[in-house]
Amino acid sequence: MTVAGSLLHGMKEVEVWLQTFAPGSRTSIHRHSCEVVFIVLKGSGTLILASSSHGPNPGKPQELPIFSNSTFHIPVNDVHQVNTCGTILNW
């Protein structure tokens, strides 16, 4: 669900979303043309992040634990994927 977005609320480079992922689900491997910050409200999983993946020499993907009350920043165009564990993941 988009809480605030560029066209809907007059923002040019920011979108605010509320997302819920089912246990055992994952996002596709993807990137965004803006920075991404997410705050995990509930649940656990892993964030796969390939730092500097938009340049000629992408960094080795990192696997970062996701847990309730954690916050993550993903730079512009860095490739990433979110995988949930056996719990619902909300951010």
> How long a stretch of residues is the chain?
91
pLDDT exceeds cutoff 70 at 73:
yes
Domains of the chain: 2-90 (2.60.120.10)
pLDDT tens digits along 10-29: 666 666 677 888 888 999 98
Angstrom CA distances, 58 to 32, 34, 77, 79, stand at 16, 18, 11, 9
Q: What is the pTM of this model?
A: 0.75
> Would you give the DSSP letter of residue 30?
B
Question: Does the annotation flag 9 for ligand binding?
Answer: no
The upper half-sphere exposure of residue 38, i.e. CA atoms within 13 Å in the direction of its Cβ, equals 21
